[in-house]
């Protein structure tokens, strides 16, 4: 099976140079995205069949490329297979969406060559079985995605986003490079050799921290998230969907591969570190999202939240694994992996919807949208499902993974360590807060952009998007529902992954009465999304038909009531910033140092009074701004070296030579 | 035979909550009026209101979308399903394993999500104010609720309501500090979730402080009837939840005789009366808070719930 996978990746790589040629042809984008669609669906099917039918086989291959004495090692175990499914499901959806959306691209030459290369890079990261290929693929993925981020290079904002992204990506790779350096010191670059080696506890701890920094900066863990809300929205929407829905998952893969697979048995404080980063990431990410008014930026910040949820699950799994409770570790790990899958589904869907809105109106600013449900009914329907799913509401899929995470948290009193006993309930509280904020955030996103009355002419004259884009969105929406009402199937499919990584599996789910999911025992907890869905659908239909038949089914249209004071001006509606004002007032004064400044004109001045809101990103101010300042200061000082005379340069070279010789001699 | 019994018992539960919900609201209103030395509307007035509303035409705002028309049914079905999963008179519900306490809270969360969307659909200022404040209240109430659930579930060793009720009714539970805290937190949550005083005023209209009423301002006719019925169901759900977790005595077990079931039902009615009376007394003795005092009130509940959970982590017996 790995041969098929590698050939498909090779096909994707071959499509990249073809993209240069195709970008000049009128129907080139269709051919390219069609090619990507075929390659990714082959990969997806291959990986899925591998995960479902032959999970115990782990085929590997070695290609004579890369370092001459090492070659490039590839391996397809259950973990890789699962992440291949996630990546390529996202890839299939994005390519399908782009078949329609990509035709409106202004400069296809800046997108088409990089898109297949980017897909291929993500696949290679997951397949790689030695540190060298892993890092090369990782860096290739960063660079191709950077090229896509700056594809609309005429907007100054995008260039800044690309710059920050490039810096943070280099930082992440550096951390991973050091992590692998520590791991490989006694064993070599091959993952198989690393697995067999036994690094000391101190080295393992350092590798954990470095992996958290490296993978976490790519995934968007707070405080390494600063680049994400800049870069993800800057790319074309199908690429944004891939970056948020899929590439952050590749980062999660990197973390899981290093910490759960390559490192020896965990120690309890590892989980403490991961939990203390994951919980605040979830809450802060969604609070940031609530304060935004740009649709794509809201979605990018919400990605940070979901990454926080995933890392919380992974932290729980580490804690339970360290204490030998591997059956609970399996529950927490499965919850995290299920959330990886779920988030890939609904985040891609939501970014595609944002792309459809952007294509129809040219606007990403919610304050200029409104009423799109009338003009883009199908997009609005798909987006509604995405919004409900990401808010972790039943019967959709987001709820299932959060529910499983909560079940794992409820088992944490069994842990012996006191630190964890105090941290885990607090993290549970943070997750609960994040879930509630997420609902608020997506009520806002949907309510402001799709409901109400149009706030601008472009929103009033929007049109439905093309049928490829619609198909991609509706398919993803259908997956969100299926994964929500039949979660047992997905949990069972994850069993080999959890077996490999934490050494145990959740109880077998399919075959339980009525497809209920039971994480531990029926006396503890169970949830049946299918029955809830059917039950609610029946109740709703019964109520509707009874009322229509027995009472009244008449309906008339009239102007809105609004307590007797309707105003035809759409500006009277709540705007995105006014919607989040109460939450900003309650939570923002501390977290964002938010201030509302009322500027009253002096008496007798005809100027209107203004209300200005000041928000500060305290993490940026406290962490990034000082670093930038120091670097700026240092470069200013070094700058004089650029304007020396030839004599002084020669002196410098001479001094450098002497110093080097001294170093060598000593 | 057993399956038939289960279905009958589940069906009885569903119709019982649906039938009793308006009565509970009518009862609370009546007691409140009597406490204010008014005569008050008759006990059955909520039923009459519902029937009258259902027979009336729906007057739909010009700008309302299809979602606006579907939402009342979504809210109603979500709330009804949630309410029929909370054990009332008997414990052996057929579908009790369909959703545990967390899922019931989340189902109500779905209903609230749609309610807040409905407030924004027509594009009026009042709808927006209602939705915006509702999500602010929810952003505190929902976590507090979940953490309360955590503490109760850790004591009972299950998030399954039937098992929680069974455990709480047994002698194993004893007197615990964390349970007391969870009880206070749950009561505050119940007030906030049901838009009662001091968080919101169910009797007000045309006031800038209203939250729930502002969201449903554009609804009329059968849609409004369904939304009213849903809020009544939600009140009943929370009262039953408190009764089921903190006063589970006399609840019929899964294999109880018919006499036992009837006894359980009578006892349940008694619990509803007592809790409804207490609610009315509480509401008449406290003033409505201004909007930005609510976070402090709910924050207190959040802290209590967290403290209850932490106590539970620290010591198994507290």
Mean pLDDT lowest for which of A341-355, B239-253, B295-309? B239-253
At B225, the pLDDT band (50, 70, 90 cuts) reads very high
The reply to whether B313 touches chain A by the CB within 8 Å rule is yes
CB A243 within 8 A of CB A231: yes
CA distance A567 to chain B (A): 8
* Three-class DSSP category at A598: strand
All residues of chain A having their beta carbon less than 8 Å from the beta carbon of residue B157 are 524
Asked whether the beta carbons of residue A440 and residue B139 sit closer than 8 angstroms, the reply is yes
Nearest CA in chain B to A369: B123
Give the pLDDT of residue A105. 83
Q: Which residue has the higher pLDDT, B261 or B305?
A: B305
Asked whether the beta carbons of residue B106 and residue A393 sit closer than 8 angstroms, the reply is yes
pLDDT digit string (tens) for A557-580?
999 988 888 888 998 899 999 999
Two structure tokens written together for A433:
């807060």
CB A248 within 8 A of CB A281: no
All residues of chain B having their beta carbon less than 8 Å from the beta carbon of residue A409 are 150
CB A342 within 8 A of CB A487: no
Residue A336 CA to residue A268 CA, distance in Å, equals 18
Other CB atoms within 10 A of residue A463 CB: 10
pLDDT digit string (tens) for A291-325?
999 999 999 999 999 999 999 999 999 999 999 89
CA distance B122 to chain A (A): 5
CB B141 within 8 A of CB A440: no
Write the ipTM: 0.95
Name the residue among B65, B120, B122 with its Cβ closest to that of A560. B122
Give long-range contacts, CB 8 A cutoff, 24+ apart: A652-657: none
All residues of chain A having their beta carbon less than 8 Å from the beta carbon of residue B124 are 560-562, 566, 572-573
Give the pLDDT of residue B317. 67
CA distance B188 to chain A (A): 17
Residue B302 CA to residue B211 CA, distance in Å, equals 21
pLDDT digit string (tens) for B152-200?
988 888 888 888 888 888 877 777 888 899 999 999 999 999 988 888 8
| Summary mean pLDDT of chain B | 89
CB A507 within 8 A of CB A519: yes
Contacting B residues, span 55-94, partner chain A, CB-CB under 8 Å: 55-63, 65-67, 73-74, 76-78, 80-81
Name the residue among B55, B65, B150 with its Cβ closest to that of A374. B65
pLDDT digit string (tens) for B229-263?
999 999 999 999 999 999 888 787 767 777 888 88
How far is C-alpha A226 from the chain's CA centre?
Answer: 14
CA distance B43 to chain A (A): 23
Q: What number of residues does chain B have?
A: 318
Q: Three-state SS string across A510-577, please? A: CCCHHHCECCCCCCCCCECHHHHHHHHHHHHHHHHHHHHHHHCCCEEEECCCHHHCCCCCHHHCCCHH
The reply to whether B209 touches chain A by the CB within 8 Å rule is no
Find out whether the peptide bond into A241 is cis, omega within 30 degrees of 0: no
Give the pLDDT of residue A96. 96
Q: What b/e readout covers B131-169, taking b as 16+ CB neighbours within 10 angstroms?
A: bbbbbbbbbbbbbbbbbbbbbbbbbbbbbbbbbbbbbbb
pTM of this prediction? 0.95
Q: Three-state SS string across chain B, please? A: CHHHHHHHHHHHHHHHHHHHHHHHHHHHHHHHHHHCCCCCCCCCHHHHHHHHHHHCCEEEECCCCHHHHHHHHHHHHHHHHHHHHCCCCECCCCCCCCCCHHHHHHHHHHHHHHHHHHHHHCCCHHHHHHHHHHHHHHHHHHHHHHHHHHHHHHHHCCCCHHHHHHHHHCCCCCCCHHHHHHHHHHHHHHHHHCCCCCCCCCCCCCCCCCCHHHHCCCCCHHHHHHHHHHHHHHHHHHHHHHHHHHCCCCCECCCCCHHHHHHHHHHHHHHHHHHHHHHHHHHHCCCCCCHHHHHHHHHHHHHHHHHHHHHHHHCCCC
Backbone angles phi, psi at A106, to 5 degrees: -70, -45
pLDDT digit string (tens) for A351-397?
999 999 999 999 999 999 999 999 999 999 999 999 999 999 989 99
Two structure tokens written together for A232:
């993800």
All residues of chain B having their beta carbon less than 8 Å from the beta carbon of residue A449 are none
All residues of chain B having their beta carbon less than 8 Å from the beta carbon of residue A554 are 57-58
Two structure tokens written together for B154:
């850790």
All residues of chain B having their beta carbon less than 8 Å from the beta carbon of residue A566 are 124
Choosing among A586, A590, A591, A594, which should be mutated to test the B contact, i.e. which has the most B CBs within 10 A? A586
Token look-up 């010009």 returns B62
Residue B208 CA to residue A580 CA, distance in Å, equals 17
Residue B152 CA to residue B185 CA, distance in Å, equals 11
The shares of helix, strand and coil residues in chain B, as percent rounded to the nearest 5, are: 70, 0, 25
Measured N-to-C along each axis, helices A78-101 and A495-502 cross at an angle, to the nearest 10 degrees, of 130
């Amino acid at each position: 099976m790995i041969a098929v996978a590698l050939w498909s990746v090779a096909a994707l790589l071959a499509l990249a140079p073809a993209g240069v040629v195709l970008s000049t042809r009128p129907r080139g984008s269709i051919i390219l995205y069609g090619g990507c669609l075929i390659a990714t669906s082959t990969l997806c099917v291959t990986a899925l069949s591998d995960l479902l039918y032959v999970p115990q086989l782990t085929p590997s291959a070695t290609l004579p490329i890369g370092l001459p004495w090492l070659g490039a090692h590839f391996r397809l175990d259950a973990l890789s297979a699962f992440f291949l499914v996630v990546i390529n499901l996202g890839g299939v959806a994005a390519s399908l969406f782009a078949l329609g959306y990509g035709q409106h691209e202004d400069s296809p030459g800046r997108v088409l060559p990089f898109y297949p290369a980017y897909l291929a890079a993500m696949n290679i990261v997951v397949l790689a079985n030695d540190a060298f290929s892993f890092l090369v693929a990782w860096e290739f993925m960063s660079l191709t995605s950077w090229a896509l981020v700056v594809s609309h290079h005429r907007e100054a904002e995008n260039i800044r986003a690309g710059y920050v992204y490039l810096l943070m990506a280099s930082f992440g790779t550096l951390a991973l490079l050091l992590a692998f350096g520590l791991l490989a010191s006694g064993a070599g670059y091959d993952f198989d050799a690393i697995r067999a080696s036994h690094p000391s506890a101190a080295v393992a701890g350092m590798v954990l921290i470095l992996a958290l920094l490296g993978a976490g900066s790519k995934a968007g863990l707070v405080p390494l998230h600063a680049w994400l809300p800049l870069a993800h929205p800057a790319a074309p929407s199908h690429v944004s969907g891939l970056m948020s829905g899929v590439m952050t998952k590749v980062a999660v893969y990197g973390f899981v591969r290093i910490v759960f697979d390559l490192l020896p048995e965990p120690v309890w404080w590892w989980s403490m570190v991961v939990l203390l980063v994951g919980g605040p990431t979830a809450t802060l990410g969604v609070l940031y999202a609530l304060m935004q008014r740009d649709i794509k930026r809201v979605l990018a910040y919400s990605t940070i939240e979901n990454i926080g949820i995933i890392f919380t699950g992974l932290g729980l799994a580490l804690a339970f694994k360290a204490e030998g409770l591997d059956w609970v570790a399996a529950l927490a790990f499965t919850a995290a992996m299920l959330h990886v899958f779920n988030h890939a589904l609904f985040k891609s869907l939501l970014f595609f919807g944002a792309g459809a809105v952007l294509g129809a109106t040219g606007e990403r600013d919610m304050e200029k949208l409104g009423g799109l449900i009338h003009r883009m009914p199908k997009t609005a329907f798909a987006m509604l499902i995405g919004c409900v799913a990401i808010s972790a509401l039943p019967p959709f899929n987001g709820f299932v993974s959060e529910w499983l995470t909560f079940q794992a948290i409820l088992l944490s009193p069994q842990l012996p360590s006191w630190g964890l006993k105090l941290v885990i309930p607090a993290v549970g509280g943070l997750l609960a807060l994040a879930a509630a904020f997420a609902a608020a955030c997506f009520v806002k996103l949907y309510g402001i952009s799709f409901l109400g009355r149009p706030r601008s002419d472009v929103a009033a004259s929007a049109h439905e998007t093309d049928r490829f884009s619609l198909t991609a969105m509706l398919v993803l929406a259908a997956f969100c529902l299926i994964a929500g009402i039949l979660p047992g199937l997905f949990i069972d499919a994850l069993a080999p992954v959890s077996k490999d990584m934490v050494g145990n599996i959740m109880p077998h789910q399919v075959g339980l009465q009525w497809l209920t999911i039971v994480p531990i025992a029926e006396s503890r907890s169970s949830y049946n999304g299918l029955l809830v869905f059917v039950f609610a659908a029946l109740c709703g239909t019964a109520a509707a038909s009874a009322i229509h038949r027995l009472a009244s089914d008449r309906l008339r249209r009239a102007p809105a009531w609004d307590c007797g004071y309707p105003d035809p001006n759409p500006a009277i509606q709540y705007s995105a910033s006014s919607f989040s004002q109460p939450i900003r007032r309650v939570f923002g004064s501390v977290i964002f140092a938010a201030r509302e400044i009322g500027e009253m004109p002096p008496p007798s001045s005809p100027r209107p009074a203004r209300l200005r809101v000041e928000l500060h990103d305290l993490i940026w101010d406290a962490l990034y701004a000082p670093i930038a300042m120091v670097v700026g200061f240092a470069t200013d000082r070094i700058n004089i070296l650029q304007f020396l005379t030839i004599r002084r340069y020669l002196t410098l070279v001479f001094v450098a030579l002497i110093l080097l010789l001294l170093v060598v001699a000593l | 035979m057993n399956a038939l019994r289960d279905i009958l018992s589940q069906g009885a539960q569903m119709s019982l909550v649906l039938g009793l919900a308006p009565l509970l609201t009518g009862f609370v209103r009546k007691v409140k009026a009597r406490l204010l030395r008014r005569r008050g509307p008759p006990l059955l007035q909520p039923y009459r209101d519902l029937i009258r509303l259902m027979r009336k035409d729906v007057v739909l705002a010009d700008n309302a979308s299809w979602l606006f028309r579907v939402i009342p049914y979504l809210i109603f079905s979500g709330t009804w399903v949630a309410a029929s999963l909370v054990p009332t008179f008997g414990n052996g519900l057929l579908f009790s394993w369909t959703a545990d306490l967390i899922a019931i809270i989340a189902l109500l969360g779905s209903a609230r999500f749609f309610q807040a969307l409905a407030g924004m659909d027509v594009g009026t200022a009042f709808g927006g104010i209602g939705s915006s404040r509702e999500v602010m209240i929810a952003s505190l109430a929902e976590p507090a609720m979940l953490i309360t659930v955590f503490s109760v579930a850790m004591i009972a060793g299950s998030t399954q309501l039937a098992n929680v009720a069974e455990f709480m009714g047994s002698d194993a539970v004893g007197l615990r500090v964390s349970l007391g805290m969870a009880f206070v937190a749950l009561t505050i949550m119940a007030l906030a979730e049901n838009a009662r005083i001091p968080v919101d005023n169910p009797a007000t209209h045309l006031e800038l402080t209203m939250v729930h009423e502002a969201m449903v301002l554009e609804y009329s006719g059968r849609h409004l009837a369904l939304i009213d019925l849903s809020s009544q169901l939600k009140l009943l759900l929370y009262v039953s939840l408190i009764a089921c977790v903190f006063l589970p005595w006399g609840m019929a077990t899964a294999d109880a005789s018919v006499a036992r079931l009837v006894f359980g039902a009578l006892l349940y009615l008694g619990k509803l009366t007592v809790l409804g009376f207490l609610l009315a007394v509480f509401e008449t003795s406290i003033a409505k808070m201004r909007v930005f005092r609510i976070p402090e009130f709910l924050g207190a509940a959040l802290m209590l719930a967290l403290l209850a959970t932490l106590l539970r982590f620290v010591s198994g017996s507290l």
